[in-house]
Chain A
Amino acid sequence: MRSASWPRWLLVWLAMGSLVLAVLLVLVRGGLASAGQTSEAPVSAQAPAAMSDDECLRCHSDPDASLSLPSGETISLYSDPAVFRRSVHGDKLNCADCHVRNQTVPHPSLNVVTARDFHRAEYELCKRCHFENYTRTLDSMHFDVVAAGNPFAPVCTDCHTAHSVTRLTESRVQIAKTCSQCHSTIYNDYVQSVHGSALQSEGNPDVPVCTTCHGVHNIQSATTATFRLASVDMCAQCHANKELMDKYGISSNVLKTYLNDFHGKTVGFYQKQSSQVWAETPVCFDCHGVHNITRVDDPNSPVIKENLLPTCRQCHADAGANFPSAWLSHYEPSLQKAPIVFFVKEYYRFLIPLMIMGLIMHISLDLWRLARNR
């Protein structure tokens, strides 16, 4: 209220004054920032010129070049320039582009104890260019393993190698092999599975490899409730794809029939729940197997008719011999596949509209007569 009694010219001056002040502030700050940049430039200009590869190879082309670490381990300092030139970086990078800290000779001393320390320190070099994928790995369960104290969980160079990096996407077989360096048991299951054997024998381009299901850099744990619930849609990415499934004569109806049945409805609701639920209800891989998944007509398949009862009994311990046929094996009820179910379904499909039409007709007649009576 008081300001209303202030002279108007004072208010105008105050407003204009603060506007000018604000503009000045912005200008000054921008100027300071650019001044900071220019002041840094001379520093980098004063840095030694990048070492040439020839200079590096003077020492590092010696196959016996090695370094002893405090832990007693020895690491090789040899690098085959031919291998590097064949790698994906070969025509783009020189030694010094990555090994920036080693541009002075002698190199600054290493502050590492074990060979693993050394590798874990060196892989940080990748992030200078591959920052996005580097940060993804920080969200991965491999990084969680590191955080929990196991330094051997993989870093960039464990999967991609340091100097002979190739495009992993060019070879799906190579992806599975890469993971098998650590996950050998799972790999052995996988190569015998319907997916893995097709990959190995024919280089099938459609079957999933490790990364198809588990992701690449931000690989998540596969034992969480989230992964379990999402796994249904993961399998469906291929198995509900009609075009792809027709190629192999497999039904693409499997997701739909699963979601329409008791198990699938439950999982469907769990997926839409805000809180995390561990689904006791079976998802695809509980019945079909995980890495060792087989064709459904394979004699060893857990879902082939002969083997289905033990599969059901994993949850329904008291199931009898008739019980497995309660599950319609992803078939829609039809005269051939499940005639009783088919007839019940058809019965209600006709009865409900018929009944309601009859009742509404009765109501309409009643109303009609009442209207005429008035």
Chain B
Amino acid sequence: MAQVVAGSRRATLIQREFVRFKVSQRLEHLLTMICFGVLLLTGLPQKFNDASVSVWVVNSLGGIDNVRLVHRVFATMFIFSAFYHVGAIGLSVVRGKFNPSMAPTLRDFADALVMLRYSVGLSNSKPRFGRYDYRQKFEYWGIVYGGIIMIVSGLTLWFPTYVTRILPGEVVPAAKEMHSGEALLALMVIVTWHMYSVVLSPSHFPGDWSIFTGKISHEKLREEHPLEYIALVGGNLEELEEPPDRVQTPTAATASPPGGGPERAGESARDEPSRG
């Protein structure tokens, strides 16, 4: 039951939870996560081949040939998921349902500056984010860029004789450096940045699970994505600034309002697939 809250100029629909990610987006994240993990597990020992732990991993997985086979199987899955991602965006564009919420804007750079001023104490107001903040966009585009690098360089290493039909031979060792460098970069970014921003950060600890559950709580949406919150619920930024006791918290669950009420729960998860 959604509640209509009186006390502001217009009726506001407030729900306890909002749907943030569609099932397909959650599955995409899960698949990316699994591929990423397996590719690192089977790839890093090849990069750091002298480390005894690498030898242990390779031998535990049944030898280097097995490791390479598994690496290529999951690489293929990753490539397909990348194609699915692009295809799904294309489809939503065709259907006219595309919401470019991941597109980097000038506002993101401004937000980053505001955040910097806020962090160092020059300002007391945090930037207000939409559906994705600049950090999430940075990570998303990092994965897009890194994914392209990994796929292109990986295919070069997989099929060197085809690639060198057109390109000079030197691209093969260059692809090897690129593949291993980008992999290490991706690992470091995930370990530091992603783990901090969704798991270890005091704002989310012990974890922001919305990419798995698909749900985001009312409070969280309001706090972290105020612009999206307003777009969904209505109201304006000043109202959000009101002290918590004056904002009525809902009592009921996620159900849609009867009749003419907007189907808010579905609205948040637009048709743009995301990994952010």
Contact = CB atoms under 8 A, between A and B. Distances in A.
Interface of A: 259, 261-262, 265-266, 268-270, 272-275, 277, 316, 318-320, 322-328, 333, 338, 340-341, 344-345, 347-349, 351-352, 355-356, 359-360, 362-363, 365-370, 372
B181 A344 contact: yes
Contact of A338 (B165, B173, B201): B173
**Listed residue (B59, B63, B121, B168) with the most chain A CB atoms within 10 angstroms of its CB:** B63
Interface string B128-167: 0000000100000000000000000000010011101101
Contact of A359 (B119, B172, B192): B192
Contacts of B256: none
A367 B55 contact: no
Contacts of B119: 365-366, 368-369
A344 B160 CA distance: 18
Interface stretch (B3-11, B98-106, B182-190, B246-254): B182-190
A243 B188 CA distance: 40
Contacts of B46: 265
Contact of B169 (A324, A368, A372): A324
B176 A340 contact: no
A268 B49 contact: yes
A356 B192 contact: yes
10 contacts: A269-B63, A320-B164, A326-B160, A326-B171, A326-B172, A338-B174, A355-B189, A356-B188, A360-B192, A363-B196
B169 A325 contact: yes
B58 interface: yes
Given A341-B174, A347-B181, A365-B120, A269 B188 contact: no
The main secondary structure of chain A at its interface with chain B is helix
B161 A320 contact: yes
B: interface residue count bin: 35 or more
B193 A322 contact: no
B109 interface: no
Given A318-B161, A326-B164, A356-B192, A265 B169 contact: no
Nearest to B182: A348
Given A323-B160, A340-B174, A341-B173, A265 B49 contact: yes
A270 B172 contact: no
B185 A325 contact: no
Given A269-B55, A269-B58, A345-B181, A323 B164 contact: yes
